[in-house]
Chain A
Amino acid sequence: MNNQLPGALAIGVKRGKLEIKQFFRQRESVVFTLLFPLILLAIFGSVFSNKIAPGVSFSQYFVAGMIASALVNTGFQQLAIFIPIERDLGALKRLRGTPMPAASYFIGKAVVVTVSMLLQVALLLIAGVLFFGVNLPTAPSKWLTFAALLISGSVVSTILGVAFSSVPKNARGASAIVSPVVIVLQFFSGVFFIFTDLPQWMQQVAAIFPLKWLTQGMRSVFLPESFATREIAGNWETGRTFAIIGICLIVGTVLAIRTFKWERE
């Protein structure tokens, strides 16, 4: 008889495939996570067609912000809403009663976040280029920054989503709390409006959260170099961006490990 338990990574990959299957079979998750940002892009891109700087249209600025938001939607928002639902349905407790290693559950979540994130970013880029005149960067260094932002942003968003999943008391509370938090953060972080036009206190609040930095980072990738002087610091603050994402990652990891709940109260 074989007494060797399957490894955490192998089970995690299986869970990832299962999570993706469930993601696409749930109409709510497909609509909210994948389609809603495209609808927003279509609305804002059509309403605000003005130039905000020489060679920079509002829709370009907005596409950069929406790509940063994609990291928050697919990681933070998706997990902070769906983990409490799974907890309410008893799914987490059931898993806890099996020999599945806890790590496998989170590996599975990381897989579904990565797939949905890549899909959403690709959809936004295609729509941005086709309909809103977004210019893709040519310099390899910009693509490198882009990749680094996608990876670090998605990881921090995932971890914070796991950490936040213990805040809502139940599944119904989860979407009621999480969606407004994300929308307000988007307003404060300069996704829907030009960040430098926002009141100072909003800018300061936004600076505590990663979305503001991810948004600014995406502008450094998709807007011309000349636009950097219009940012608050007069440059893209790339070093500080990654430093703050790193800090959020550490704080989020500690919170996630300490607070994660497998059972409803």
Chain B
Amino acid sequence: MKPVIEVKSLRKSYGSLEVVKGISLVIDSGEIFAILGPNGAGKTTTVEILEGFRAADAGEISVLNTDPAVKGSAGLAWRNRIGIVLQSTQDTAELTVREAISHFASYYSNPREVDEVIALVGLEEKADNRARTLSGGQRRRLDVALGIIGRPELLFLDEPTTGFDPEARRAFWVLIKKLRSEGTTILLTTHYLDEAEALADRVAVMNHGEILEVSTPALLGGRANSKATVTWRDAGVAKSEETDSPTEFVQRLSAQFGGEVPELGIHRPTLEDIYISMIGATHE
């Protein structure tokens, strides 16, 4: 099957500043793909090119078999197949949740049922409230509802959970996974490493306009092969040991203690540790 998104040697400059330096990407149908990177890494520019908001300076781009730079009715037919959730929007403030969603439904050829979408984003109780009365997390779920009402094959999510409390974030992750299980391909940008880890099938780490690595969250930066840290307590003193073979080490400890090891913990570097070391390495 042809990938949903295929990018080769994409370049974009603003004036003399090159913000995207020849990146290449392939995103397959039905996957959740996350782009990670600090502010100014070129994530938003890349995504906005893929969304058709900006033209690239150079490179080959195919999004759902279309060059997003196409305008006119061909562009509209393409837009009919994608959904976009932008960063912080505060529009439709005077409309109720239901009014806004059912109005946006009228733009698409084959929209989802309005009530189905309201239930999917968990806004049933707020359906008849004005958008301006929603909390930050509810407002963001309305944004997602507007992004998915058209039954998109491909959904762009730009920092979707910024400002969420932990509970709202988890509810949101459930929603995104539900969309994937229905076959939606999702391109996500986020600052939150735990979010990428919970959601993404693959992640790309971007910095200074370049992609440093594309991998699964578990394998990124050699994470699976890196040393594990074993921690325990021995006669009231906290101990720790870095090892390539934690299983063997713990067996030896267990023998030493004659069973249970006090306060035993085994830690691999978190995605955040790996990410910070990758981003930090490019600063030098």
| CB within 8 Å for A91 and B95 given contacts A6-B107, A97-B51, A97-B84 | no
Asked whether B110 lies within 8 Å of A93 as measured between CB atoms, the reply is no
Q: For the complex, would chain B's binding face be called helix, strand, loop or mixed by DSSP majority? A: loop
- The residue in chain B whose Cβ has the minimal distance to the Cβ of A23 is B94
Whether, in the assembled complex, B109 has its beta carbon less than 8 Å from a beta carbon of chain A, the answer is yes
A22 CA / B108 CA spacing, docked (Å): 22
Whether, in the assembled complex, A224 has its beta carbon less than 8 Å from a beta carbon of chain B, the answer is no
| CB within 8 Å for A101 and B76 given contacts A2-B109, A3-B109, A5-B109 | yes
Asked whether A91 lies within 8 Å of B92 as measured between CB atoms, the reply is yes
A206 CA / B91 CA spacing, docked (Å): 36
Residues of A within 8 A of B77 (CB): 3, 5, 99
Asked whether A11 lies within 8 Å of B106 as measured between CB atoms, the reply is yes
Asked whether A25 lies within 8 Å of B94 as measured between CB atoms, the reply is yes
Contact with A along B204-230 (1 / 0, CB 8 A): 000000000000000000000000000
A149 CA / B22 CA spacing, docked (Å): 56
Whether, in the assembled complex, B150 has its beta carbon less than 8 Å from a beta carbon of chain A, the answer is yes
Asked whether B80 lies within 8 Å of A5 as measured between CB atoms, the reply is yes
- The residue in chain B whose Cβ has the minimal distance to the Cβ of A5 is B109
Whether, in the assembled complex, A14 has its beta carbon less than 8 Å from a beta carbon of chain B, the answer is yes
A22 CA / B84 CA spacing, docked (Å): 23
Whether, in the assembled complex, B88 has its beta carbon less than 8 Å from a beta carbon of chain A, the answer is yes
Which A residues, 98 to 113, have Cβ-Cβ distances below 8 Å to chain B?
98-101
Residues of B within 8 A of A18 (CB): 95, 99, 103
Asked whether B79 lies within 8 Å of A98 as measured between CB atoms, the reply is yes
Residues of B within 8 A of A138 (CB): none
> Which one of B88, B103, B106, B107 has the greatest number of beta carbons of chain A within 10 Å?
B107
Asked whether A99 lies within 8 Å of B76 as measured between CB atoms, the reply is yes
- The residue in chain B whose Cβ has the minimal distance to the Cβ of A18 is B103
> Which one of A90, A91, A94, A100 has the greatest number of beta carbons of chain B within 10 Å?
A94
User: Which of B79, B90, B93, B146 contacts A99, CB < 8 Å?
Assistant: B79
| CB within 8 Å for A90 and B150 given contacts A6-B109, A18-B103 | no
A40 CA / B187 CA spacing, docked (Å): 54
Whether, in the assembled complex, A1 has its beta carbon less than 8 Å from a beta carbon of chain B, the answer is yes
Asked whether A4 lies within 8 Å of B84 as measured between CB atoms, the reply is no
B side interface size, CB within 8 A = 31
- The residue in chain B whose Cβ has the minimal distance to the Cβ of A100 is B107
Which A residues, 1 to 42, have Cβ-Cβ distances below 8 Å to chain B?
1-6, 10-11, 14-15, 18, 21-22, 25-26
Residues of A within 8 A of B86 (CB): 90, 93-94, 97
Which B residues, 32 to 52, have Cβ-Cβ distances below 8 Å to chain A?
51-52
| CB within 8 Å for A98 and B104 given contacts A2-B109, A86-B91 | yes
Q: Give the A-B pair count, Cβ closer than 8 A.
A: 82
Q: How far is the CB of A30 from chain B (nearest CB, A)?
A: 12
User: Which of A6, A25, A90, A263 contacts B91, CB < 8 Å?
Assistant: A90
Asked whether B88 lies within 8 Å of A6 as measured between CB atoms, the reply is no
Residues of A within 8 A of B150 (CB): 98-99
Residues of B within 8 A of A21 (CB): 94-95, 99
A203 CA / B184 CA spacing, docked (Å): 63
User: Which of A1, A10, A98, A263 contacts B53, CB < 8 Å?
Assistant: A263
Whether, in the assembled complex, A172 has its beta carbon less than 8 Å from a beta carbon of chain B, the answer is no
Whether, in the assembled complex, A119 has its beta carbon less than 8 Å from a beta carbon of chain B, the answer is no
Asked whether B90 lies within 8 Å of A90 as measured between CB atoms, the reply is yes
Q: How far is the CB of B169 from chain A (nearest CB, A)?
A: 22
Whether, in the assembled complex, B89 has its beta carbon less than 8 Å from a beta carbon of chain A, the answer is yes
Residues of B within 8 A of A2 (CB): 109-110
| CB within 8 Å for A97 and B89 given contacts A6-B109, A25-B94, A26-B94 | no
A21 CA / B51 CA spacing, docked (Å): 30
A80 CA / B83 CA spacing, docked (Å): 29
Contact with A along B64-96 (1 / 0, CB 8 A): 000000000100110110101011111111110
B-side residues, CB < 8 A to A, are: 51-53, 73, 76-77, 79-80, 82, 84, 86-95, 99, 103-104, 106-110, 130, 146, 150
* Contacts A10-B106, A89-B90, A97-B52 supplied; 10 other A-B pairs, CB < 8 Å: A3-B77, A5-B108, A11-B106, A25-B130, A89-B89, A90-B87, A91-B89, A93-B86, A97-B51, A99-B79
Sample 16 A-B pairs with CB under 8 A, ordered by A number.
A1-B110, A3-B77, A5-B73, A5-B80, A5-B108, A6-B106, A22-B94, A25-B130, A26-B94, A89-B91, A90-B87, A98-B107, A99-B76, A99-B107, A100-B107, A263-B53
